Amino acid sequence: MTAEEARELSDLIGDIYDAALDRDRWLGVLECTCRYVDGVTSVLISQDTAMSAQFHYSWGDDPEYTKSYNETYIKLNPALVPFIVHAQTDDVIALSDVMPYDEFLASRFYKEWARPQGYIDTVHATLNKTSMSYAAVAVARHERQGLVDDQARRRMRLLAPHFRRAVEVGKVLSLHKVEAAALADTLDGLATATFLVDADSCIVHANKQALAMLAEGKVVRAAARRLAAANPETDRALREVFAAAGAGDAAVGINGIAVPLITRDGDRHVAHVLPLTSGARKQAGTEYSAVAAVFVRKADLELTHPVNALAESYKLTPAELRVLMTIVQVGGVPEVALVLGVSVPTVKTQLRHVFEKTGTNRQADLVKLVVAYMSPLAGSSSCTVGGP
C-alpha cells in the first residue's frame, strides 16, 4: 500500500465511524467508497428471500432504476438468492463467486436493468446475515472499469469490518447526532449496556444497563475500575481493542468488530467498540477522557439459511436450485428460461431433475415445498430483515 492510499484509507475509516453518529455523513462515505474501490455507484442495502429490498443509503444510482428494481427487477435478479444463501457475515464476494457469469449476462435482469446502466459486476461486503436476509455495502462496476479485480476485493476487505462496526453502533444509538456535551445523557437513555473506557480499560462512564450487567458479573465485571470480560479467555481480546482505540480508527482493525463474550454457563454476548479518538467523535471522547464507547448485548443466533437447507436435503445442484427458486418467484418454464437466459429445454431438464430429487411432479408442489422451508413455523428460521 502506498503512502497516498494509506492516507485515503485512514480518512475514509474515520468518516465511516463518524457516520455511525451522524447519519447525514453516509452519502459522503459511499461516494468516497466508490472512489477507493473504483466503482460507479455504492449502496447500503438489505434484501430478503421475500423479494424485498431496502436501500438505506445510496450514492451514484439513478432513482428511476432504483425504483424499478424494488418494484419489478428484484424478482428477476438471478444473483439475489445465491447472494443470500452463500454470503456469510464479513465475506467480500462478487457476482462470479455466486453464479456463472455467463448465466448472469444471459439473464433478463442483466439485459433490461443492468446493461442499460452500464453495470457489469458488483462487489459486496456482507455486514449482517440472518436465515432469511442479508445486509451489505455494495459497489457496482461500470463497463469502463471492468470486472471486479483483486485490488477491488482487497480494498473492500479493508473497509468491510469498519462498515460493519459503524452500522451495528448506529443501530444501537439510533439518533441523528451526538453532541459532545450530551454524550453521557444519550448513552444513559440506551437500552443496550454501554460503557465509556480509557486506554487502560478503566470505566469513565456506564449507563444504567451497564451498571446492572456489572452487578450481575456474568458477562463483564469491574476490577479496580477496569472493564473486563468475566471469562478470562475473552478478556485479553477486549483489552487489546481498548488499547488500539487510543491510536485511532485504523489501529483498531478487525479485532473490535464483534468481540465475543461467552459466560461460564454458555450465554453468548458481543461487544462492539466505537473509537472516540478521531474525526468528529474526538471531542466527545476528550470530554470524558475516553478512547472508546463499548456496546454489549446478547448475540443473535446464527441460523442455517432455509434455501441452503433445502438444497442440502435434496442434493440440488446450484443450477437446479436457481431453476427451483425462479419457478417459485416467476412461474412457468418459458418465463424461467427468459429470466435466466437459458433455453426452454435446459429449464425442462433441470426441472425434471428437481422433481425426481424432491419426489414431486407439479410446480404447485414445489411452491409448497419452498414455502414450508421458508416458514418460521416449519423450523428454526427467522423472517427478520437485518439491515443498517
CATH number of 180-298: 3.30.450
The radius of gyration of the chain from alpha carbons, rounded to an integer in Å, stands at 23
CA 35 to chain centre: 20
At 249, the pLDDT band (50, 70, 90 cuts) reads: low
Q: Do 292 and 275 meet the contact criterion of CB atoms below 8 Å apart?
A: yes
Please list, in sequence order, all residues whose beta carbon lies within 8 angstroms of the beta carbon of residue 236, skipping any fewer than 6 positions away.
Answer: none
Q: Give the 3-state secondary structure of 125-144.
A: EEEEECCCEEEEEEEEEECC
pLDDT at residue number 370:
78
CA distance 275 to 293: 7
Mean pLDDT calculated for residue range 171-179: 50
Q: Which of 43-52, 150-159, 289-298 has the highest mean pLDDT?
A: 150-159
**What's the mean pLDDT when you consider all of the chain?**
80
pLDDT at residue number 290:
80
Alpha helices in 195-302 (DSSP H): 208-216, 232-245, 249-252, 282-287
Q: Do 77 and 170 meet the contact criterion of CB atoms below 8 Å apart?
A: no
At 124, the pLDDT band (50, 70, 90 cuts) reads: very high
Q: Do 283 and 20 meet the contact criterion of CB atoms below 8 Å apart?
A: no
Cell, residue 83: 447472494
More confident residue, 251 or 167: 167
Superfamily of domain 3-173, CATH level 4: GAF domain (3.30.450.40)
* Strands 268-275 vs 259-262: parallel, antiparallel or unpaired: antiparallel
pLDDT at residue number 384:
31
pLDDT in tens, 16-49: 888 877 788 899 999 999 999 999 999 998 887 6
Mean pLDDT calculated for residue range 99-122: 93
pLDDT at residue number 144:
94
Say which CATH architecture domain 306-374 belongs to. Answer: Orthogonal Bundle (1.10)
Of all residues in the chain, the percent with pLDDT exceeding 70 is: 80
Q: Do 126 and 136 meet the contact criterion of CB atoms below 8 Å apart?
A: yes
More confident residue, 125 or 327: 125
Domain ranges of the chain: 3-173, 180-298, 306-374
Asked if the model's pLDDT at residue 175 lies above 50, the reply is no
Alpha helices in 75-219 (DSSP H): 80-86, 101-106, 108-109, 150-173, 183-188, 208-216
In degrees, rounded to 5, the angle at the alpha carbon of residue 299 between the alpha carbons of residues 311 and 20 is 105
Asked if 3-173 and 180-298 have one fold, the answer is: yes
CA distance 26 to 149: 25
Nearest Cα to 257, choosing from 175, 194, 193, 168? Answer: 168
Q: Do 20 and 172 meet the contact criterion of CB atoms below 8 Å apart?
A: no
Q: Do 316 and 324 meet the contact criterion of CB atoms below 8 Å apart?
A: yes
pLDDT at residue number 119:
96
pLDDT in tens, 156-168: 998 988 888 788 7
Handedness of CA 48, 51, 52, 54 (dihedral sign): positive
pLDDT at residue number 131:
63
pLDDT at residue number 292:
82
At 184, the pLDDT band (50, 70, 90 cuts) reads: low
pLDDT at residue number 286:
63
More confident residue, 138 or 191: 138
pLDDT in tens, 316-366: 888 888 888 888 777 788 888 877 778 889 889 999 999 999 898 888 888
Write out the H or E segment, with its range, that includes residue 43.
strand 41-48
In three-state secondary structure terms, 258 is coil
